């Protein structure tokens, strides 16, 4: 560990820092808030905030007011640094530090829900971006808002919803509709297929089911004044830790308690459907397209699918991060075959060399400077497998082709849950963890495999061959 003698990051010290790192190329005192973000974490800082920082060079109206969902420590750290933080972009032979000024204020939605609503409702706000992870979109199997979800149910009965992301966001939009009714764009940046239409459905569903908002005709206003473009986001950003803080200090002499580490790759594809003005994110490489779907399948099935496979196989083999897992020859071989024989042939047509794309993804996984924790990847399997792996399995089976490798990912997930249930239940991070542990403890291995399929891929449960393959591989010692 380095001694932390670096210069503290703040607006005051910024002029001194320009010789040590790339600093904002605009006047920070000109910046005003034009967008609100929910889900402030490492990913937002290294992705949307970075693109916004570049766009601020052209127009200073796009500062971000960012909210964590429940974390109060990060907003406090950022506030201490006047919202400034650095992004360390690193690969085998490169390491660059850029200090960003895009985040104008950092707060916690849990403790500052009213402020969140006010800011979304402000006429100067044109965009709300979200990175709240898959589990914040409570959806029934037919794609509607899950009214049975406890936080949603609590919010439907409240005059001031704040327990669920959908409830809080809808309440903020209601305030906007009531105050001045100006148009707004809601941009989901979560790894979900059709994230734009999904969040539109959930917010509209909430507006129609909530007695107060129904009476005010909120869903009509949403249809007329709110747009929900779909997006595909891609950048590998491990959870920031002390090692990142130390590395930035070592490289630049800047002491930044909110530093974040990432890889050079950044992709942001956005459906061009904005209700009002937007930042010139294209200056940072974002692409605006009519239809994000082909990019969505490519990214979710190849990168995220391989990530999820690596998580369970890697953890079962005793690895801790993606880099170690992909360096394990048996796992690397499995992932290559999974991609080449099952995932790539089933991708919907896309104007990209998909084999080259898959190779580039594997190369990114091997980045020696950015290691991603397998525990984090393994979290929320119930939310991730349906998005990342089920579509490939369905497509293969519809053509009568085997899907043995995909089935093995389900089986390795099952093994991981069984291991957690047996040794470390606290290590199983999933919104359905208690239920998964209860099933693991009561069912036999075949029954357990069936229950997991029922939760994550009910269609595939009726496919005899696929079901049999998952059951067989769950019963076998995979190691």
Could you list the residues that contact ligand CS2 (CB under 6 A)? Answer: 191, 234-236, 304, 307, 376-377, 384
Q: Which is nearer to ligand CS2, 321 or 463 (CB)?
A: 321
We find the least distance from the C-beta atom of residue 72 to ligand CS2, in angstroms, to be: 23
Give me 78's structure tokens.
């950022």
Burial readout 351-373 (b: 16 or more C-beta within 10 A, e: otherwise): eeebeebbeebbebbebebbbbe
Q: Which two tokens stand for residue 151?
A: 């936080």
Of 307 and 467, the one with the shorter C-beta distance to ligand CS2 is 307
Residue nearer to ligand CS2 on the CB measure, 193 or 384: 384
Please say which residue, 206 or 365, places its beta carbon nearer to ligand CS2: 365
CA 189 to chain centre: 7
Minimum Å gap between C-beta 73 and ligand CS2 is 21
Nearer residue to ligand CS2 within complex by CB, 82 or 380: 380
Rounded Cα–Cα distance for residues 361 and 357 (Å): 6
CA 347 vs CA 168, 309, 339, 391, 454: distances in Å:
36, 17, 10, 9, 24
Residue 332 and residue 314: Cα distance in Å, rounded? 10
We find the least distance from the C-beta atom of residue 292 to ligand CS2, in angstroms, to be 14
Nearer to ligand CS2, 255 or 307 (CB): 307
Cβ atoms < 10 Å from Cβ of 56: 27
Burial of 479 (0-12, 13-18, 19+ CB in 10 A): exposed
Can you tell me the distance from the alpha carbon of 347 to that of 294, in angstroms, rounded to the nearest whole number?
Answer: 8
3-state DSSP call for residue 210?
coil
Query: In the bound complex, what is the minimum distance in angstroms from residue 350's beta carbon to ligand CS2?
Result: 17
- Smallest CA-to-CA distance from 346 within 402, 290, 307 is with 402
At closest approach, how far in Å is the CB of 134 from ligand CS2? Answer: 9
Q: Closest CB to ligand CS2 among 235 and 467?
A: 235
Smallest separation, CB 385 to ligand CS2 (Å): 11
* Rounded least distance, CB 237 to ligand CS2, Å: 7
Non-local CB neighbours of 203 within 8 Å, separated by 6+ positions: 166, 169, 170, 173, 186, 222, 226, 228
């Amino acid at each position: 560990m380095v001694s932390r003698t670096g210069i503290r990051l703040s607006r005051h010290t910024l002029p001194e820092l320009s010789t040590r790192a790339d600093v904002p190329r605009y006047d920070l005192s000109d910046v005003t808030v034009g967008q609100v973000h929910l889900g402030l974490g490492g990913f937002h800082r290294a992705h949307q905030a970075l693109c916004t920082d570049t766009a601020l060079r052209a127009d200073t109206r796009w500062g971000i007011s960012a909210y964590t969902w429940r974390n109060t420590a990060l907003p406090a750290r950022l506030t201490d640094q006047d919202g400034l933080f650095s992004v360390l972009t690193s690969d085998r032979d490169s390491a660059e530090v850029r200090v960003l000024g895009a985040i104008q204020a950092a707060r916690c939605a849990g403790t500052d829900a009213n402020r969140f609503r006010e800011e979304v409702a402000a006429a100067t706000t044109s965009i709300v971006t979200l990175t709240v992870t898959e589990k914040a979109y409570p959806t029934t199997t037919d794609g509607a808002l899950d009214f049975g979800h406890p936080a949603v149910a609590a919010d439907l009965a409240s005059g001031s919803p704040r327990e669920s992301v959908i409830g809080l966001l809808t309440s903020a939009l209601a305030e906007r509709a009531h105050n001045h009714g100006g148009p707004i764009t809601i941009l989901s940046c979560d790894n979900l297929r059709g994230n734009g239409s999904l969040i539109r459905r959930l917010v509209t569903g909430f507006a129609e089911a909530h007695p107060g908002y129904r009476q005010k005709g909120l869903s009509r206003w949403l249809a007329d004044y709110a747009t929900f473009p779909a997006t595909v986001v891609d950048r590998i950003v491990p959870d920031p830790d002390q090692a990142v803080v130390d590395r930035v200090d070592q490289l630049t002499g800047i002491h930044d308690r909110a530093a974040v580490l990432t890889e050079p790759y950044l992709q942001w594809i956005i459906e061009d459907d904005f209700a009002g003005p937007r930042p010139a994110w294209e200056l940072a490489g974002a692409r605006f397209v009519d239809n994000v779907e082909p990019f969505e399948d490519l990214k979710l099935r190849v990168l995220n699918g391989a990530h999820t496979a690596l998580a369970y196989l890697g953890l079962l083999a005793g690895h801790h991060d993606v880099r170690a897992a992909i360096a394990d020859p048996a796992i690397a071989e499995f992932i290559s075959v999974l991609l080449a024989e099952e995932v790539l042939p089933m991708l919907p047509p896309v104007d990209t060399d998909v084999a080259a794309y898959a190779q580039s993804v594997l190369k990114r996984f091997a980045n020696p400077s950015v290691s991603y924790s397998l525990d984090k990847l393994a979290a929320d399997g119930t939310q991730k497998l349906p998005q990342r792996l089920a579509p490939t399995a369905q497509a293969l089976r519809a053509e009568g082709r085997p899907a043995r490798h995909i089935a093995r990912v389900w089986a390795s997930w099952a093994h991981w849950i069984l291991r957690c249930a047996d040794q470390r239940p606290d290590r199983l991070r999933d919104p359905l963890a208690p239920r998964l542990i209860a099933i693991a403890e009561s069912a036999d291995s075949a029954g357990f495999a069936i229950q997991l399929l029922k939760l994550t891929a009910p269609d595939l449960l009726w496919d005899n061959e696929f079901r049999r393959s998952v059951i067989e591989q769950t019963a076998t010692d995979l190691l």
